[in-house]
Structure 1
Amino acid sequence: MSDLMKTIATCFEQVAFFFPSGDPKNQESFQHRANYLDLREYSREILADTLKAYHEDLGANSETFQFIEELRHKETLVVITGQQAGFFTGPLYTLYKAITTIRLAKEQREKLGRPVVPVFWIAGEDHDWQEIRETYFLNSEGKPISCQIPGDGGGESVGYQKVPAWETIEDQFKEIPESEFRSSVLKECRQITERAENLTQWFALTLQYLVSQWGLIFFDPMIPEFKRLAMPMYEQILKMHVAVRKALAVRTEKWVELGFTQQIHPTGGEVNLFLAIPERRAILYDNDYFNLRGQKERWDLDTLNQMLKQRPEQFSPNVVTRPIIQEYLFPTLAYVPGPGELNYWAQLGEVFTVFNFVMPILYPRLSAVVLIPSWRKSLLKQELSIEDVFEGLEEHKSRCVRERDSHDIDEHFERLYRKIREGYAELAPLEDIHGNVRDWLVKNEAKVSFQINYLKGKIWQAQRKRCSEVLRRLQELEDGITPLHSRQERILNPLTFVCQYGSSFVDNIAELPIDKFEEHKVLL
């Protein structure tokens, strides 16, 4: 498969057809997009009033309220990103998304000479409990430890889920190493947990705490006023569902032909909306009627529209239509996706056209690797790069053990094997004694070889123990940089580093360059 991030960074013209608002590295793309948005109308007053009330509950800072007030003005544009309402924000890339959005909005405010505000869309409508219920921290030995929210979600949107009592989760944080900042960070986490009314608010309060020195608008799509505001778009989605499926299929086929990954996999009949009564299920279409996946009750379009007017809070978009709702509600200059999201956005260009929209600029989020001092020291001492760790260190571990073998273990055993083969060869004349002697010799030699191999394994095991310190440091590298054999930013929670380094950790992320998309940045 082709490397999309590298292609966007170095050969954007190869994929320009799929990203119609232009190259994110080119400032002209932003100016053209701004000109396009100036021709559109938005319900800015309702949007701003509702956001203001929501952020008063969050206790947002003055910069955020300034951004909300600016949204009332026609010239104000938005840089937006989004993520599920993960456990204490979920993995590091959530913070990277937020920082990229804040930085890009500030940069475009200066370059365009007009208000551009950062928005974080919290996908609290999602019902994938497994996706958000778990996060990982590093313990005092540098190993990733799992922290989980109790319960199973019951198939409902996570925004309806209650926040767990602090007492049910605080024991999970005891393995986080002691540091200058640990107690104050966990105290803040407890206050946030006790204050939040649902998982979406829990997420917003935690991320707001991390980026407290900057303004960032949080958008909760489950707020009733926002549901009513989006209702005309839901009606259009219901009406145009066949055209949407065809548009998705056409663009996906072209995307796969180009050698890229198909991220959205329709199974057939999707209307690309969910209905929650109370369990959230996909709406399907078949033979002129609609039904929920796994259920038999059927409705016609008029009935479904009536349900929408009476209870809009029960409807929500899926991965195909969430960007359409976003485009309808916000003057979106740019969206900040992760690598996987880039692939599914590339499948959506024709879907935007169905609704007479143009896809916003896609500006890839920051990607970074945190290097604490001990990891950096190990990399330098072992003459390793971060790319070496990404590829796996098993061969390097074996090489380290063998390089420290001062007894030539393998040579000793090779000589022993040779003597055993020679010894059994000398017994070959005994085969004349009985017809079974040859089988006895073969089986006996195999048993002896098995025991010798066992002994060789035990000796190498002892040799590895002699190298335990270097192996421990290499394992720490893997656990820290590629925890659970994945990228650090996809597994570790940002609080694992905030507990160790305080707010300066987030400050340092904010200083990383955001415009070199194909590169992971190193945060020391």
Structure 2
Amino acid sequence: MRDLMQTIATCFEQVALFFPSGDPKIQKSFEQRAVYLDSRDYSREILADTLKEYHRNLGANSETLQMIEELRQKETLTVITGQQAGILTGPLYTLYKAMTTIQLAKEQREKLGRPVVPVFWVAGEDHDWQEIRETYLLNSEGKPISCLLPGDGGGESVGHQKVPDWETIEAQLIEMPDSEFRSSVLKQCRQLTEQAENLTHWFALTLQWLVHKWGLIFFDPMIPEFKRLAAPMYEQILKMHADVREALAERTNRWVELGFNPQIQPTGGEVNLFLSVPERRAILYSAESFYLRGQKEPMDLDTLNDLLSQAPEKFSPNVVTRPVIQEYLFPTLAYVPGPGELNYWAQLGGVFAKLGFVMPILFPRLSAVALTASWQKYLKKQGLTLADVNHGLQEQRNRLVREQDTLDIDDHFQRMREQIARGYAELKPLQEVHANVSDWLDRNEAKVKFQLDYLEKKVWQAQRKRCSDVLSRLQQLEDGIVPNHSRQERVLNPFSFVMRYGLSFVDRVAEIPIGDFSEHQILL
């Protein structure tokens, strides 16, 4: 399958059909998008009033509150990103998304000469417990350790889930390395955990603390006023569910024909909305009736619309319609996705058009790998690159173990094998004694060789133990740079570095240039 990020970085025209607001590398795309947004109307006063009240509850600073006030102005635009509400903000790429959004909004504010504010959509409606219940941090030995939420979520949205006792979290962080920042960071985390009303609130409080100086606005779609604002769009989606499915299928087929792997793969009958009863269930359409997944009772459109008017908080979008709800609520100049999101957004252009919108500019988040000073030093000492680490260091392990072999282990065993071969060759004349002697000699020689192979294996195991220091350093490189054999940004939690360096780590993230979509940045 083709690499979408590389395609966007080098030959955007090949995928331009799927990203109708234009190339994110060209400023003209942002200028044209701004003109389009100026032709649309938004419920700015309700948005600002509700966001202001929510952020007072978050304890937001004056810069964030000023950004919210700017939303009241007709000329104000937004740059938005979003993510599920993971433990302690989830993996590093959550922070990278937030910082890309902040930096892009700042950049476009200057270039367009008008207010552009950053917004983080906290996906608290999501009920995929497996996605958010676990995160990984590096312990004092440099190994990834799991931090896990108890329970199974019960199928309800994350925004309905209770925050665990801080002691439950802290007990899993006992192996974190000591540093001058550890105590103060843990104290802050405790305060935020005890303040939080649910997992969505906990996520927003924690990420806000990390990026507080940049004025990021947080959006919780489960707030009742926002649900009421979105209700007309839910009604439209219910009415046009067949058209939405058709538009998604058409664009997906063209995406596959172009050589890309579709992220959204419908199973049939999706209305692309959920209903909470209280567990979150997909609404399906079949045989001219609506159903909830896993239930048999049919509903008609009037029934669903009545429920929507009475209790809009029970409805929520899925992966197909959430971006459209966002477009309905906010003057979205650009959305900041990760690589997977970028792929499924490419399938949605027809859905946007069918519902009367144009998809925003898609500006991929920055991608980075953080390197501690000790990792940098050891990479240099061993003459290794990040590509070497990404491909696995087994070859380097074998080389280092052999370099420290001062006794010529292989030579000793090779000479022993030659001696055994000569010895058994000298016994060949004894075959005249009995017809079975030849077989006995072969089997006996095989046993001796087997034992020698076993001895050689044990000797090399002992040699590796003698080299444990150098091997552990290589393991630390893999655990830190490609933890669990995956990209660092997709596994490690930012608190692996915040506890080591304090908030100066976030300051370093803020210094990474955005807009290089084809390369991993290196954060030293």
Hey, what's the Cα distance between the residues in 2 that align with 1:235 and 1:443? 81
Q: Over residues 99-124 of structure 1, what are the superposed CA-to-partner deviations in whole Å (9 max), with x where a residue is unaligned?
A: 11001000000000001000000000
Give me the whole-angstrom Cα distance separating, in 1, the residues matched to 2:436 and 2:289: 78
**1:347 is matched with which residue?**
347
Q: Secondary structure at the match of 1:271?
A: strand
Give 3-state SS (helix, strand or coil) of 2:213's partner. Answer: coil
For 2:195 and 2:340, locate their aligned partners in 1 and report how far apart those are by CA, in whole Å.
33
SS at match of 2:212: coil
User: In the aligned structure 2, how far is the partner of 1:241 from the partner of 1:211?
Assistant: 39
Deviations 1:154-200 (A, max 9, x none): 11001000111112222112111111111111111000011010000
**Aligned counterpart, 1:177:** 177
The residue that corresponds to 1:158 in the other structure is: 158
Other-structure match for 2:504: 504
Aligned to 1:369: 369
More deviation, 341-350/301-310:
301-310
Alignment deviations for residues 413-472 of structure 1 (CA, whole Å, 9 cap, x no partner): 223223323433444444454444444333322222221111111111111122212111
- Matched residues in 2 for 1:236 and 1:277: separation? 21
TM-score, reference length from structure 1: 0.98
1:28 aligned residue = 28
Q: CA deviation at 1:48?
A: 0.9
1:444 is aligned to 2:444: yes
- Whole-angstrom distance in 2 between the partners of 1:69 and 1:373: 42
Give yes or no for the alignment of 1:408 onto 2:381.
no
Q: Give the Cα separation in 1 of the matches to 2:7 and 2:16.
A: 10
1:209 matched residue in structure 2: 209
| Counterparts of 2:254 and 2:215, CA distance in 1 | 39
Distance 1:371 1:165 in 2: 32
Please state how far the C-alpha of 1:17 moved relative to its aligned partner.
1.4
> What letter corresponds to residue 79 of structure 1 in structure 2?
V
Q: Write out per-residue CA displacement over residues 269-298 of structure 1, whole angstroms, 9 at most, x where no aligned residue.
A: 111111110111111111111111122121
Deviations for 1:466-488, whole angstroms, at most 9, x for unmatched residues?
22121111111001111111111
Gaps of 5+ in 1: none
What does the per-residue CA deviation read over 1:368-402, in whole Å, with 9 as the maximum and x for residues that have no partner?
11111110011000111112111111111112212
Q: Which residue of 2 aligns with 1:74?
A: 74
Q: What's the counterpart of residue 88 of structure 1?
A: 88
Name the SS for the 1:285 alignment partner.
Answer: strand
Question: Structure 2: how far apart are the matches of 1:110 and 1:434?
Answer: 97
The range that moved more, 81-90 or 165-174, is 165-174
Inter-partner Cα distance in structure 2 for 1:431 and 1:241: 86
Paired amino acid for 1:326 = Q
For 1:207, give the aligned amino acid.
L
Q: Which amino acid aligns with 1:369?
A: V
* Match in the other structure for 1:460: 460
For 2:12 and 2:415, locate their aligned partners in 1 and report how far apart those are by CA, in whole Å. 60
Give the equivalent residue in structure 1 for 2:223.
Answer: 223
Aligned to 1:382: 382
Report sequence identity in percent.
75
The answer to whether structure 1 residue 239 and structure 2 residue 239 are counterparts is yes
1:259: how far off? 1.9
What is the match of residue 259 of structure 1? 259
**Equivalent residue, structure 1, for 2:274:** 274
- After superposition, the CA RMSD in angstroms is 1.3
**Structure-2 residue corresponding to 1:394:** 394
Q: Deviations over 1:51-88 (max 9, x none)?
A: 11111111111111111111111111000000000001
Distance 1:433-1:301 versus aligned 2 partners, 3 A rule? farther
Partner of 2:335: 335
Q: Distance in 2 between matches of 1:432 and 1:483?
A: 63
Relative to structure 1, the CA distance from residue 291 to residue 432 in structure 2 (aligned partners, 3 Å threshold; closer, same or farther) is farther
Unaligned runs of 5+ residues in structure 2 are none
Q: Distance in 2 between matches of 1:292 and 1:118?
A: 36
Secondary structure of residue in 2 paired with 1:218: strand
Q: Name the residue aligned to 1:493.
A: 493
SS at match of 1:78: strand
> 242-251 vs 430-439, which deviates more?
430-439
Question: What letter corresponds to residue 325 of structure 2 in structure 1?
Answer: I
* One-letter code aligned to 1:266: P
Cα offset for 1:314?
A: 1.0
SS at the partner of 1:249? helix
Aligned to 1:49: 49
Q: Secondary structure at the match of 2:120?
A: strand
1:288 matched to 2:285? The reply is no
**Per-residue deviation, 1:233:** 0.8
Distance 1:274 1:454 in 2: 60
Distance (whole Å) between structure 2 residues aligned to residue 268 and residue 437 of structure 1: 72
Cα deviation, 1:81-100, whole Å, max 9, x if unaligned, reads 00000001001110111011
The SS at the match of 1:298 is coil
Aligned-partner SS, 1:145:
strand
> TM-score scaled by structure 2?
0.98
User: How far 1:407 sits from its partner (Å)?
Assistant: 2.8
SS of residue in 2 equivalent to 1:213: helix
Mapping of residues 143-154 of structure 1, within 5 Å: 143-154=143-154
SS in 2 for 1:15: helix
Structure 1 residues 120-170: Cα deviation after superposition (integer angstroms, max 9, x where no partner): 000000111111111111111111111111111111001000111112222
Taking the aligned partners of 1:20 and 1:403, their CA distance within structure 2 comes to 57
* Partner Cα separation in structure 2 for residue 302 and residue 431 of structure 1: 96
How has the CA–CA distance of structure 1 residues 257 and 435 changed in structure 2, closer, same or farther, with 3 Å as cutoff? Answer: farther
Within 1, Cα distance between the matches of 2:351 and 2:43?
A: 22
Distance of aligned partners of 1:219 and 1:449 in 2 relative to their CA distance in 1, 3 Å threshold: same
Letter in 2 for 1:381: K
1:13, distance to aligned residue in structure 2 (A): 1.3
Give the secondary structure class of the aligned counterpart of 1:80: strand
- Quick one: distance in 2 between partners of 1:131 and 1:496? 19
Tell me what 1:321 maps to.
321
1:33-64: CA deviations, max 9, x gaps?
00111111111111111111111111111111
